[in-house]
Amino acid sequence: MKFPQFEHKLTGVLVPVSALRSGSGIGIGEFADLPLLAQWCSRIGAQIIQILPVNDTGTQSSPYSALSAFALHPIYVRLQDLPEVRSAGLLDQVQQLLQRFAPPGPLQYGQVLDEKQRILQAAFQQRSREIRALPELQQWIDNNPWIRPYAVFCSLKQQNHNRSWHHWEQLRDPTLQQIDQRWQQGFDDGTCLYHAWLQMRLEQQLRNAALALDSAGVALKGDLPILMNEDSADAWAHRDIFNPDFRAGAPPDMFSELGQNWDFPIYNWDHLAGSDYDWWKRRLLQADKFYHAFRIDHVLGFFRIWAIPAVHFSGTLGYFCPSHYITRSRLHSVEFNDGRIRWLCEPHIRGDAVRAAFAERTDEITGRFLQRVEDQDLFIFADGVAGEKSIAGAGLADADAQTLLDWYRDRALLRVDDDSFAPSWLFRDCSRYAELSQQEQRRFERLVQQSNDAAEIVWEKHGRALLAFMNHTTPMLACAEDLGVIPDCVPATLQDLGILGLRLPRWTRPDGVNYLPLDQFPEATVCAPSVHDTTTLRQWWETEVNDQERAAVLAAHRISQPLEPHYTPQTAWRFIEALLQTSSRICMFQIQDLFAVDPQLRLTVAQEERVNVPGTFNDVNWTYRMPAPLEQLLERGQTNSGLQTLIAARTTRSQP
């Protein structure tokens, strides 16, 4: 859908669909709630609604663990709007669920999903003959070829008790012909037909909601995660799209000593280029059915991804891919011979260190994990130790495993192939690197710097090629999530392609110390005071901004009067007014940050308003829900008029 041609500065509201509440929703926000949210946005003057991914994630509540790049999540269906539910006489059961899940509180994801699936299955079983005869269904299937492998995948996953396809007894590595055969069988017996019918109805509901927003003059912005879960229909049916030998993640930083391993396979971009990026283009065209704009998740990954060999579980031993690697001949040219290269590539552990760590168990440990270097009192890891997972899964005591892992990660060079190497992210911490002479270290670091400089050219070429086709495939407005350590080539590439960047005021410190004033943000950006992976403004101000920083924060926001550490509704009004002055084209507020102005709309505990804490797995992530239904939100006259006044002032500022 084409993004409207607004001529003024824009304001938007960011909210997971799951967080919405209405009198018609069953325990979770639903696609059919979006027009009601758009009414509220129109009332306060906001022009954009941004949602998180709505792809099917099965039993996983995280919207970033999709089972399909195309399929929508059944949990967002409006049951009472389905003709099959009504004709099957199931509305009484729907009403019971409405009453059961009506009270406020966190999302009960598993219970809501189970109950909705129960009614969906009952409706399908009772009306399967009529569903099979629907002329619109066959046409929809023909227009959506992704449904065949997805439906087969879902039916097989159910038969295998929801286990990953890696553990299936059959069809772990199917041919396209086998998938087609299983599709036809499942269409006939209903196991695949069910998923096709449900996806058609979900698409109709989201499409109708998107059209209602379009008519109301409110743009809908979706979220397109760059990566796919390996346990997904796409990774199962289209192995050639992915490189399963590597996992994507992030290098070590101040927040994660060992880096991050997201456990998603990286793409085989060479194969995708050979098909003119057909899979990605179809994914974009699918999103274009619903969205006026889309967020490119982790856009840096389109320039280069932190690739971690699948034998590891941390991000420490990863490296950027693609990149400009250091060749063996280049190392030779600065007087690092093959022996020196091996010295930097492979951990070498002295015998006294092994004996000190394991004492009387030294022979046992060396026999299982290490091998002696010739006749020296020196050890390297045995050939059978393939990676971190080999050590962690060996049944050792935690302390023993940690000692071996620390030794295993002690590398200055990482072998990409026989003649290419990447510097370890923490190469300066390598014990053997510290033993090099100062002259050797200087030569090595010059080589690393030359490699990094040359990598910028590789990254720019790669990023431009990928983002160009993404930006030109549909009329949607592309917005990039360009947070993190940004290569020099990224800002110019985004600007040249007309892709908006993202700025979080709390993380925008050009010199590493001072906050960039909001009125100095680049115009071609989205300013977001918080996002789903951060604390809300309220929690950030109360728990993360210390007394010394408060003055600097207020100065960057052009707030002249001091504000108390407690984030009162009055404080919230001041921050919202200040943020709306940003020079960014779009100012996007999490809905909780707007609710903070109203005592009836903010939760008692600020921490409970946070959507997700990255890298954690608990019962709290992804459970936030609005404290009041959308119907009541429309009646908050004083709050709505106050927000409308502030946002209206922003709309008087024209785009350059």
312 — pLDDT class (breaks 50, 70, 90): very high
Give the Cα separation of 596 and 25 in Å (integer).
24
Mean pLDDT of 288-294: 98
**Looking at the predicted structure, is the pLDDT value of residue 656 above 80?**
no
Quote the pLDDT of residue 253: 87
- Tens of pLDDT, residue by residue over 173-208, are 999 999 999 999 999 999 999 999 999 999 999 999
Give the domain range for residue 357: 322-425
Give domain status of residue 370, yes or no.
yes
Task: List the single range of 326-330, 457-461, 616-620 with lowest mean pLDDT.
Answer: 616-620
Structure tokens at 6: 């607004």
CA dist 607 and 625 (Å) reads 13
In the predicted structure, residue 353 carries a pLDDT above the cut 90: yes
How far, in Å, CA of 586 to CA of 502, rounded? 10
First to last CA, the chain: 23
Q: What is the mean pLDDT of the chain?
A: 96
Find tokens 């999540």 and name the residue.
73
Which residues face 326 on adjacent strands? 421
- At residue 614 the predicted structure's pLDDT band, cuts being 50, 70 and 90, is confident
- DSSP H helices in 397-530: 398-408, 438-473, 489-497
Using only C-alpha atoms, the chain has a radius of gyration, in whole angstroms, of 27
- Calculate what percentage of the chain has a pLDDT beyond 70: 100
347 contacts 410 by C-beta, under 8 angstroms: yes
Within a domain: 432: no
Instruction: Give the largest Cα separation in the chain, rounded.
Output: 83
Burial class (CB in 10 A: 0-12, 13-18, 19+), 639: buried
User: Each residue of 475-530: pLDDT tens digit?
Assistant: 999 999 999 889 999 999 999 999 999 999 999 998 888 899 999 999 999 999 99
| Number of domains, the chain | 1
Give the CA angle between residues 489, 475, 472 to the nearest 5°.
45
Question: What does the pLDDT average to over 595-614?
Answer: 96
Report yes or no on 404 lying in a domain. Answer: yes
Q: 11 and 589 in contact (C-beta within 8 Å)?
A: yes
* Beta-bridge mates of residue 11: 587
Q: Centre a 10 Å sphere on the Cβ of residue 278 and count the other Cβ atoms it contains.
A: 11
Domain assignment present for residue 410? The answer is: yes
Query: Residue 655 pLDDT more than 80?
Result: no
Q: Computed from CA positions of residues 146, 152, 155, 159, in that sequence, does the dihedral angle turn out positive or negative?
A: negative
Burial (CB count within 10 angstroms: exposed 0-12, middle 13-18, buried 19+), residue 417: exposed
Question: What is the pTM assigned to this prediction?
Answer: 0.94
Model confidence at 125: pLDDT above 80: yes
Q: What is the pLDDT of residue 248?
A: 96
Q: Is residue 411, in this structure, part of any structural domain at all?
A: yes
378 located within any domain: yes
Does residue 360 sit within a domain? yes
Let me know if residue 369 belongs to a domain: yes
